[in-house]
Structure 1
């Protein structure tokens, strides 16, 4: 007896997104079998024939694979990383970074300043190790896409059914105040005193207990990443995941895709003959695969237009014990400066994570770590102006990106507002990650206001690379069309952050998932899923 497709199951008209939806861990999906083949067991040559080969299992690949499989297609999912059990996540950052991140979380941009850009490498991709924060694409961004890139069908109303479907699949709901953590509580108190718009974030979680280690694999399995949501649903519909497979090229003949060729961890060759190939390797890796296959290069845009959403965090020392590793690390936001391209989101974690990211050295670093129980932190994210590029050199992915001076100014502005928020909440001192700015004390942000901050003075990370195979109506200025098909080749589509044509200013995971879901419905010739439930509230 075949499993019932979620599309055939009854769906309530309204979906709760409140505290109960977030904390209730019941009703998670478990497939009857894991259709999982480890690449280390594949030597020699293996040949498969399917309808669709999906390359990648993250925010883009897993949703399209699940929808195509449920729609009746034979689907193979190829993943370079491994499958990991939630029970094996140890909550030790150093240990988990080497297991779950690409290059042990040491991928860094080449430019001024160098910026770490951590990516996941496992079934679930970066959704396995991200913050879990879920924002729909802002309406003003969609308006920009329509005007600038001719993506006239990507309106809030047209995308709404796909967002509702994604949000149901991964249980997007609001973080309850009691799980938000002390840092979030203090920041929200400070924001309220200053009259700044703020609140608790929406995340893809179910049964969350606030373990505090979202970035290193959720040990309770509460974070609804694609590896435990979409991929098992794809298995139930007949898809198979092949782990430990590095795709080398996409073969094509007569203007259409014929097969996908990969190297297995067991030293073999995997050939997947298919009518549809969906590239979902991620913004940094998709350009290299397309270029190696001689595809997507007509416009000269492949690998260009990279946005990375630079981010940094300020720290504040209080009199009370906060134990910042208790609770949801990214649980609250301030959006009062969104029109200026500045978003504030929570960031916290275990002490060893704080040790790596605290912007001081020597005795100052020692003193800050001695006060770590009393330290709150919060992040500043900048809707970036600068654009970078990505290319392959000697087998390595090279990311070139220079922080724009306007974005350095946004960091300075954001850190000043955040310092005011911390002081309004009762902070004794505030440390900002801007070179030359001393520790701020007594509510005095004058030294920060007086500083001349250049791009090289900003200590930043980045988390949301987008745009290197951007979508657009004009083949002369884009890599894929509005339907995410690569210009000039039949049967080849891209479904990951590389198609997103500009920076969003917010976390992009459900934008990528919604676009991927829309692609699947297009390939299946199905109308938008208008029957999906309406959330009681959403970001």
Structure 2
């Protein structure tokens, strides 16, 4: 008699189309906010928990929520503040100093200087990013397996964790009707040139296209960690301490003992714990680890910095476009991805455009007078160079020099983007490359024949990664494949610093998936295979 093989019920599906993106019902609203403000903590305060999570962004918030729901006592330390959605004014000049670290003025030291904006609040940079969600590309995971010994980080093994993250933050596709005029024109132009593209997937629920994602979503539609993971962690018993800056992780006999932090009131917070999870971000984590006397044996701590240098071209049309209406980053063109070039939408309110338009004086004034008829789109480069983050005289110094090959990628990307704009009727195109005049009449010759050096590129950068990278070999990495600090039990790193290399795409949900995987590992739980399968995903 044969024994029937048990049937495995496949996981359900999850819609990722227009209804999922635009329906704002069913969002999570905590009945209790477990917040302690550091400005109230003078003197010395001692608490005891199972896990202390340092940071509340893409790495810290997911691991805190999962550990709390798994039964651990969790404290989250955040040096920024908690901000109510109702306090977001949609004005960049109001929100930038409130939500950005150093008021958005972090700049690399090198050629050229590159702005590198980071969030500083509960939710971290997820509060002020564009919300774009790409899974880790398969070829990147293959590289990690080959170059860093991360054999378990396969597409199949990570899939359940991506599905869990995508459900938690409602990753779904931007509808064409909310994509905005710049996206419409670029996708049409790309199609005419035979370049593939489409609408992006974002973590949004009930989005109305208010156009100010980078300055705090005033409708609460963007599902950043501050209104998703952090409140769910509270519901499971975790407490968030704001205005608290971790100074060091104390370890004894190769084991974590406590985290020592400074409070906004000038006091000291000591968190006794078995697990310390460092999620301060790629630029801040190395300094905390160094101050704790860990992570320096390989000589890799603070090195291997990768970023995504990015800039935008602007095109003036004869029609009114009102480019500040709609989702700022709603579409992509990936026809040059094999060359290390991605095109992603970028737009925003007029004062944001004024700050980033690459002209000065009367020329800048003339462009701003045409703002209603101006479309913009971004070029993002999968960088070749590697930089470093070091502490010098009490300051964080980010050293990064754009590689000549990456300057050439900007030149190539801007030329193709200009052709895309001209294909749909642009009257003139302005590119942020020194020495290149305004392009008119469909002629990109002045750009393609120019000599573009790194110093000629005007760029910002996003997605810093790699300064405490993961790897199997302690001689060439800072943390092991399970994100544990080599040689220290109970100390883990789960932010962009542990991601071993550039992804070529936005890293938000890669960091979240790795953080979720870490939490499951610490809890001894199997992967969440039951999570729903998205109907479509990037």
TM tier, shorter chain?
Answer: over 0.9
Distance 1:11 1:371 in 2: 54
Distance 1:469 1:292 in 2: 14
Give deviations 1:249-284, integer Å, cap 9, x for gaps: 111111111000000001110000000000000000
- Cα distance in 1 between the residues matched to 2:212 and 2:337: 27
Matches of 2:92 and 2:215, distance apart in 1: 6
Unmatched 5+ stretches in structure 2:
1-8
Task: Give the corresponding residue for 1:514.
Answer: 513
Q: After superposition, where does 1:99-498 map in structure 2 within 5 Å? A: 99-498=98-497
SS of 1:505's partner is coil
Question: Using the alignment, how far apart are the partners of 1:467 and 1:213 within structure 2?
Answer: 29
Preserved contact between residue 114 and residue 461 of structure 2 (Cα < 8 Å):
yes
Query: Do the aligned partners of 1:345 and 1:381 also contact (CA within 8 Å) in 2?
Result: yes
The answer on whether the counterparts of 2:111 and 2:401 sit within 8 Å (CA) in structure 1 is yes
TM-score scaled by structure 1?
0.98
Q: Distance in 2 between matches of 1:219 and 1:101?
A: 16
Retained in 1: the 8 A contact 2:11–2:529? Answer: no
Partners of 1:306 and 1:467 within 8 A in 2 = yes
Residue aligning to 1:87: 86
Q: Deviations over 1:25-55 (max 9, x none)?
A: 0000112200111111111111000000000
Distance 1:295 1:122 in 2: 26
Q: TM-score, normalised to structure 2's length?
A: 0.98
CA offset at residue 394 of structure 1? 2.4
Q: Is the 8 A contact 2:387 2:401 kept in 1?
A: yes
| Per-residue deviation, 1:395 | 2.1
2: distance between equivalents of 1:339 and 1:458?
A: 21
CA contact (8 A) 1:11 1:532 kept: no
* 1:50-61 matches, cutoff 5 A: 50-61=49-60
**8 A Cα contact 2:254 2:487, kept in partner:** yes
CA distance in 2, matches of 1:525, 1:470: 23
Residues 323 and 347 of structure 2 are in contact (CA less than 8 Å); yes or no, is this contact kept in structure 1?
yes
Q: In the TM superposition, what is the alpha-carbon distance from 1:12 to its structure 2 partner?
A: 6.8
**Where does residue 7 of structure 1 map in the other structure?**
none
How big is each residue's C-alpha offset from its partner over 1:439-472, in whole Å with a ceiling of 9 and x where there is no partner?
A: 0000000000100100000000001000000000
1:26-41 superposed matches below 5 A: 26-41=25-40
Cα separation, 1, equivalents of 2:318 and 2:213:
27
Q: Distance in 1 between matches of 2:11 and 2:84?
A: 31
CA distance in 2, matches of 1:460, 1:425: 25
**Alpha-carbon distance in 2 for matches of 1:299, 1:194:** 48
What is the alpha-carbon distance in structure 2 between the residues aligned to residue 425 and residue 258 of structure 1?
62
Q: Which portions of structure 1, spanning 4 or more consecutive aligned residues, are displaced by more than 3 angstroms?
A: none
Deviations 1:391-436 (A, max 9, x none): 1122221100000000000000000110000000110000000000
For residues 368 and 454 of structure 1, the distance between their equivalents in structure 2, rounded to whole angstroms, comes to 25
State the distance in 1 between where 2:19 and 2:393 align: 51
What SS does the corresponding residue of 1:227 show, helix, strand or coil? helix
Count of residue pairs brought into register by the alignment = 530
Deviation digits for residues 81-103 of structure 1 (CA, Å, limit 9, x no counterpart): 00000110011111101000000
Please say if residues 330 and 345 of structure 1, whose CA atoms lie closer than 8 Å, have aligned partners that are also in contact. Answer: yes
Secondary structure of 2:464's match? Answer: coil
Compute the displacement of 1:11 (Å): 11
